[in-house]
Chains A and B, each alone.
Chain A
């Protein structure tokens, strides 16, 4: 009769089954918006660094500010700024959705999808309005 190995050895030898994760699930609006809120949050952290650089340049005088402004006004700078604008509105709309959820409202599946699409449409529309007005004012 073979001596049985202690239970602790058995648990170490056999890897425990893991529950299926993102690689097996089809992306849905709910899961995509969930991770989008995180990704935009991390993106906006970089935008916050840019804000400090911009303010510091302004405090250092017109020459330094002009150099930073030239980078922002370049095509690359404008594309990044456009990305930050969309990330901002997405995080804002998604954040308001979360604040509504914190009051224990809007958890019915129908409302989850209505508010989800409202976040998508709202962020695109607000980004479009922001850039249209800015470009019209800048001339």
Chain B
């Protein structure tokens, strides 16, 4: 079935056909959303609990293994979900040739921000 179409998935998508990646995108958006429910609620609860804390108390909390691991997981799930969501928004409203570049910029931006956030958490976790 797939062998009849000699175009690449990108060429097919550009010709307003399906790149056959839709189901994967849909699932990834849901799985990251489900992961974000406990992670974001944990984050919000922790921030509320530290509403009056100073820098030392905040760093002391972020250095605990549970907090460090949860924060890294939050950043991974958050930026994965952000990249998937913003891609859909761009694809729905941008119809010029800027669409392709915008999606790539969002993807790269999300990877860069997730890397920066994880690096910050690891620096705090392994400092003393």
Contacts and interface: CB of A to CB of B under 8 A. Distances in A.
Interface of A: 38, 41-42, 44-45, 48-49, 51-52, 55-56, 58-59, 62, 65-66, 69, 88, 92, 95-96, 98-99, 102, 130, 133-135, 137-139
A132 B125 CA distance: 31
Given A52-B113, A55-B121, A134-B48, A62 B55 contact: yes
18 contacts: A38-B89, A41-B89, A42-B86, A42-B89, A48-B113, A51-B117, A55-B124, A56-B117, A56-B120, A58-B59, A58-B62, A58-B124, A62-B55, A65-B55, A88-B40, A95-B37, A134-B47, A137-B49
Contacts of B123: 59
B9 interface: no
A138 B82 contact: no
Contact of A102 (B30, B59, B79, B86): B30
A65 B40 CA distance: 22
Interface of B: 30, 33-34, 37, 40, 44, 47-49, 51-52, 55-56, 58-59, 62, 71, 75, 78-79, 82, 85-86, 89, 113, 116-117, 119-121, 123-124
4 interchain residue pairs of minimum CB distance: A59-B120, A55-B120, A138-B51, A52-B117
A137 B52 contact: yes
Contacts of A134: 47-48, 51
Nearest to B54: A62
A138 B52 contact: yes
A44 B30 CA distance: 17
Contacts, number: 74
A98 B26 CA distance: 12
Contacts of B75: 51-52
Contact of B120 (A52, A62, A102, A133): A52
A49 B118 CA distance: 13
Contacts of B119: 59
Contacts of A92: 37, 40
A73 B70 CA distance: 25
Given A45-B82, A137-B51, 14 more contacts: A48-B82, A48-B113, A51-B75, A51-B78, A51-B117, A55-B117, A58-B55, A58-B59, A59-B124, A62-B55, A88-B40, A99-B33, A130-B48, A137-B52
